[in-house]
Chains A and B, each alone.
Chain A
């Protein structure tokens, strides 16, 4: 009895799992759907090793890591947040493991009116990511490219219709999926998740933005060996196949 209490107390105060054989991963929320498969694949070749994952916006995870959160590996949805950690000396050199394509989606109701991107300004409510969220930054790049294609008025008229700057791509998707926002900019992999009720509007030729997913092992990882094993696993053929099955871009694929 006392042993159990002691262990519970330990867990309560120390946030326990460190004693177990496992890998603690901080991953961008857009990776939520691909991780279960990756985990089971990893455990096939490394039986008995637990994989504990925390999903959140990359900016949030980065802040937590900067404040000393105990994790083994970090997978970010853009280079900027990873670069910040690199500059602070918190991570080993990162590598890009996969990429994601940015897409414009519209709600079921809006899909009847908008079939090409030029018609985007005719909508009333557009949701995008906030300026410091990876998807928000990528959206900015996308808008810049569209501005070059359709002219500056296009960009300003789209920006006038922005009704919310969300804190993650999933939230943007939720807005459009629920029909509250008529259009939004999210990752392709988000749209492949089941039950999204949205339609993709194709981008004009020459317009394309890709998100990079760098992965790095943390210098202060509690399970350093396992952390490196897990990171290396992500670059194996099996793992890369899981990624591309879920809509991510790997290697040199278009």
Chain B
């Protein structure tokens, strides 16, 4: 199981971001109110935005280290990102989308490896019957599966999911959440799920981190967070659940 470690400082407009998360493996649910800096943190992980100072390490790879002047470009960080609307290419079919990840390989060896992975994923994610479909004809849940397949085909070092269930209708949400939980469990790479939904955080995150005004105020398991009243309120905008519901 590889780990992700991030420790950065940055100024974004009026926001002073100072985040230090020691290495974690498995899934981290990143929660917090709007404007707390969740998207900023994601963009720094991806390499879109450069922190003032800090260090980002995923597995063995140092993606960013201001002390040593290291800053990997987006294309080589190998961090798979699934945005809120799944970010699928509208002009390609399902297979086309997944194959884009295969064709983006840099070496022949990498290409073969990705191609194999793609076939495995299409099977595991039950996309076999959908391969020739246009993205616009897919349901929300199907899109997320395609996005996952595409992301994991690139054999990433870590997986970043932005509000993965927000675009789904309420009925599908529970099913997809369970499906996603099972999937994330099986990954050997670390992943970050940004979410507003307490059910998501509870079910998907092995660890939960609450981000408020650029700083991590609470970090721990679901129980830790739910017991901390102010933390819970900040994270989800609701009162702490009664002990029985926790």
Asked whether the complex places CB atoms of A and B closer than 8 A, the reply is: no
